[in-house]
Amino acid sequence: MGVKKFVVGNFYDEAVLFPAVKKTRRAGYKIHDVFTPFPIHGLDKAMGLRDTSLHTAGFIYGISGTTLAVGFITWALSIDWQLNFGGKPYFALPAWIPIAFELTVLFAAVGMVLTFCYLCQLAPFVKKDHFNPRSTDDTFVMAVECTEKTNETEAISFLQSVGAQDVQVMYRETGWWIGRYDRDTIRFSKKVEAAN
Amino acid sequence: MSLLRYESQVRPALVHGDKSYHQITEDICRPVETKPSRLWWIGFIISVALLIFGIISVTTEVIYGVGQWNLNKTVGWGWDITNFVWWVGIGHAGTLISAILLLFRQGWRTGVNRAAEAMTIFAVMCAGQFPVWHMGRVWDAFFVLPYPNTRGPLWVNFNSPLLWDVFAISTYFTVSLLFWYSGLLPDLATLRDRAKLKWRKMFYGVASFGWTGSTKHWQRHEALSLVLAGLSTPLVLSVHTIVSFDFATSVVPGWHTTIFPPYFVAGAIFSGFAMVQTLLVVTRKVLGLQEYITIEHVEVMNKVIVLTGSIVGIAYLTELFISWYGASPYENFAFMQNRVNLFSPYGWSYWIMMFCNVASPQVFWSRKMRRNLTVTFFMSILINIGMWFERFVIIVTSIYRDYLPSAWSTYYTPTIWEVGFYLGTFGLFFTCFFLFAKYFPVIAVAEIKHILKRSGDNFKEKMDVIENESTEQFAEEQLHEH
């Protein structure tokens, strides 16, 4: 996790943000991320992000739940220890539908939430920086990553021209680290000379 | 752009007042960031006291055995299972609001879903207590799980509705909890970023899992919510269906009814919404959230109540009709003698149920009544009582006089410990709810912001211009926008 340089602009209206995102991409800048206080439909498309395949993962987890339930009950009741319940067959599939269904849902839900947390790298005691704390309140924050080719002053004036306000250059460590939000002074996981 | 957010003027605004995104954050976070009121403390202390009484009652039961309750040879399921079914039923509204109404794209759910989901989780926690402590030797409760054991291994009976219940309730609790908490993450992050106090920053920092609001994360979050809603929808219907199987698959007259699954599900939604009303009518007032949980929200929920209440009423009448039409003397006796006959030992409970669940909700056909908070609150209490009696009627009146008259029990009345246990779950429920209302945002902040520009009062006014526009002009503009 290296420390990188970003040009960060704030937006207060999603109607301004949308065209700005498109223009910034067209101008060839590398958008690191846009932080928003609530989901904005279509912003992922505007940023050129691909669709998530979390649903597919959920489907696979669900199917494994069904298979496990039906497989295990079949083995337990019709192979391992056959018990006669009211003269019903040992392989009493209709009676197993409820549990098979419940396990399908359970596996899909738990699996998806864990996958979601893994993909987004979310966990207790994980600390991440998102440039502006107001981005969970009312501000849409666009962070443009500075590569070797990026001209800083040009990037700033470009963002201002597309409607961003309070455009600043910021040094941030990307990714996450184990940390606490009450220790704001510790900005980076390692002490980096170049940071300031 | 703005046209995509268009919503007809016919629909009432869901957010009242002149709101901006920041104002929404301020309003909803205020109760969390200020000291609790005196009313909160009084309520909280009463709840904790009830909880302690419940713990004492349960401890007594564990020490001396289930004999501490007044259950007898025929009434083996008395208050205990009545309370279980009642709480599970209450735990159905939250997931219905958050899952089914999400799939139906009902915007009004955003104002009430977070609190209703929390209520669901607490209600299911309360419900789970009853079958567990009813086991008597509660230290052997893990026997219900299929694990390799030294008794064979002898597996649990997967064909039994009681085991289905174990899976249904635990799955329902887990999935509801995940759904609720994953929705809370962004709002906890909002609280974290606003926090001034050190402990608050740390607490919400840990609780929000390091949420940032990145677009990619939102995209996944949306996908997750949608799929979880899709999964929860059949789940919520399955849970009470399976609870009803506990009765419906038996051969006890009065229980042996194929109508039970839909009838239980409708009843569950009915009682769940009543409990949501009870809580939210008070919460919105105490926390000053009338602009987010508006009178329109209350009205819509009252419409659901009159619908489900009437479904329940139809189910009661269908049962009665079939018990007569089916001409089974046992069924007939269970319904006509044990229930409908007002002068039979428990006849009174049947008529309380009929009055509270079928007759009284009909006042909600009147718009004026639906929008009256006092009436709503009073009715919600009445419905909760009625739905408790429904379960009591189903359980006790079916089994206290069954096939063999010599086994007919004497009149069943609960002991103080049985009642104490029930009161204790109220303590648990309200203790949790008070803590939730103090430390968590009771309204989904991000979701309210999401609907603000479509359904907010101050934004809807601007839509008038669009509504007055001619169709041709609208089409013209649409054409040129792309």
Delimit the domains of chain A by residue range: 3-50+124-195, 54-119
pLDDT at B2: 42
Q: Output the six-digit token pair for A162.
A: 């597309």
As a residue count, chain B comes to 482
pTM higher than the cut 0.80: yes
Comparing B303 with B1, which gets the higher pLDDT? Answer: B303
Q: Is B163 on the interface with A (CB under 8 A)?
A: yes
Contacts of B146 in chain A (CB under 8 A): 72, 76
Place of tokens 């990188």: A4
Q: How many CB atoms lie within 10 A of CB B480?
A: 7
Whole-angstrom Cα distance, residue B228 to residue B180? 10
Question: Between the ranges A171-175, B65-69, B371-375, where is the mean pLDDT highest?
Answer: B371-375
Confidence check: pLDDT of B386 > 90: yes
Which ipTM did the prediction report? 0.91
Between CA B310 and CA A136 the distance in angstroms is 43
**Amino acid identity at B177:** L
Q: Is A138 within 8 Å of A11 (Cβ atoms)?
A: no
Res. B219: pLDDT tops 90: yes
Helices (H), B139-214: 161-194, 198-207
Mark which residues 109-138 of A lie under 8 Å from B by CB.
Answer: 109-110, 112-113, 116-117, 119-130, 133-138
CA neighbours within 13 Å on the CB side: how many for B460? 17
Q: Residue with structure tokens 């007594």?
A: B60
Task: Report the candidate in B239, B262, B255 with the shortest Cα–Cα distance to residue B396.
Answer: B255
Torsion sign across C-alpha atoms A101, A102, A106, A112: positive
Among B29, B171, B239, B245, which would you mutate to test the A interface (most chain A Cβ atoms within 10 Å of its Cβ)? B171
- Quick one: pLDDT at residue A47? 86
Residue B475 pLDDT: 66
Asked if pLDDT for residue B451 goes beyond 60, the answer is yes
Check residue A190 and give its pLDDT. Answer: 57
Residues 6+ apart with CB under 8 A from B49: B427
Q: What mean pLDDT, rounded, does chain A reach?
A: 85
pLDDT at A59: 95
User: Exposed/middle/buried for B275, CB within 10 Å: 0-12, 13-18, 19+?
Assistant: buried
Would you tell me which residues 311-340 of chain B have a C-beta closer than 8 angstroms to some C-beta of chain A?
A: none
| CA distances in angstroms from B417 to B54, B60, B336, B385, listed in the order given | 8, 8, 32, 20
Q: Tens digits of per-residue pLDDT, B400-430?
A: 887 888 878 677 889 999 999 999 999 999 9
Indicate whether A195 pLDDT > 50.
no
| C-beta atoms of A15 and B215 within 8 A | no
**Chain B nearest C-alpha distance from A195 (Å):** 22
CB-based contact B428:B55 (threshold 8 Å): no
Least confident residue range of A107-121, B73-87, B107-121, B448-462:
B448-462
Task: Determine the pLDDT at residue B100.
Answer: 84
- B426/A182 Cα distance (integer angstroms): 36
Of A122, A134, A180, the CB nearest to B209: A122
| H or E element in which residue B425 lies | helix B416-439
> Which chain A residues are closer than 8 Å to B216 by Cβ?
33, 44, 49, 120
Residue B301 near residue B379 (C-beta atoms within 8 A): no
pLDDT band at residue B383, thresholds of 50, 70 and 90?
A: very high
Instruction: Assess A190–B contact: CB distance below 8 Å, yes or no.
Output: no
State the average pLDDT over residues A28-39: 89
CB atoms B155 and A39 under 8 Å? no
Binned at pLDDT 50, 70 and 90, residue A196 comes out as very low
* B467: pLDDT strictly greater than 60: no
**E strand or H helix at B93:** helix B93-95
Distances (CA, A) of A50 to A31, A46, A79, B217, B404: 15, 10, 47, 12, 69
Mean pLDDT on A71-83: 91
Tell me whether residues A109 and B212 touch, CB distance under 8 A: no
Closest CB to B153 among A81, A113, A184: A81
Question: Which of A15, A92, A116 lies at the smallest CB-CB distance from B220?
Answer: A116
Residue A187 has pLDDT above 50, yes or no: yes
B2 in contact with A, Cβ within 8 Å: yes
Residue of A33, A134, A176 with shortest CB distance to B210 = A176
CA distance B76 to B70: 9
Residue B453: which residues within 8 A CB-CB, separation 6 or more?
A: B5, B459
Q: Which of A109, A124, A130 sits opposite B212 (nearest CB)?
A: A130
Instruction: Determine contact: B367 vs chain A, CB below 8 A.
Output: no
The amino acid occupying position A195 is A
Given a cut of 50, is residue A94 above it in pLDDT? yes
**Token digits of residue B258:** 């194929």
> Could you give the CA distance from residue B482 to residue A113 in angstroms, rounded to a whole number?
38
Helix (H) or strand (E) holding A18: helix A14-26
∠ CA B208-B212-B216, rounded to 5°: 120
Question: pLDDT at position B466, please?
Answer: 54
Classify B415 in phi/psi space as left (phi over 0), alpha (psi -120 to 50) or beta: beta
- The pLDDT of residue A86 is 83
pLDDT value for B435: 94
Beta bridge partners of A35: A141, B214
pLDDT value of residue B187: 93
Q: What span, in angstroms and rounded, lies between the C-alpha atoms of B306 and B299? A: 11
Segment holding B225, helix H or strand E: helix B215-248
Which among B159, B222, B227 is the nearest to A95, CB-wise?
B159
CATH of domain A3-50+124-195: 3.30.70
B149 interfacial to chain A (CB closer than 8 Å): no
| B440 contacts: CB under 8 Å, gap ≥ 6 | B32, B114, B118, B184, B187, B188
Which 235-254 residues of chain B touch chain A by CB within 8 A? 235, 238, 242, 245
- Answer whether residue A157 shows pLDDT above 60: yes
Average pLDDT, chain B: 88
How distant, in Å, are the alpha carbons of A49, B215, B216 from that of A45? 6, 10, 10
Half-sphere exposure of B409 (CA within 13 A, CB side): 20
Residue B192: closest CA among A141, A183, A178, A50: A183
A148 token code pair: 């070797």
Phi/psi of residue B260, each to 5°? -55, -50
Range name among A63-77, B22-36, B218-232, B444-458 with the lowest pLDDT average: B444-458
Residue in chain A lying closest to B208 (CA): A124
Supply the pLDDT for residue A194. Answer: 46
pLDDT of residue B101: 84
Taking the CA of residue B190 and the nearest CA in chain A, the distance in Å comes to 5
B187: Cα separation from own chain's centroid? 22
- Least CB–CB distance from B449: residue in A37, A102, A106: A37
Chain A residues within an 8 Å CB radius of B446:
37-39
Chain-chain contact of A44 with B218 (C-beta, under 8 angstroms): yes
pLDDT > 90? residue A116: yes
Percent of residues, chain A, with pLDDT higher than 90: 31
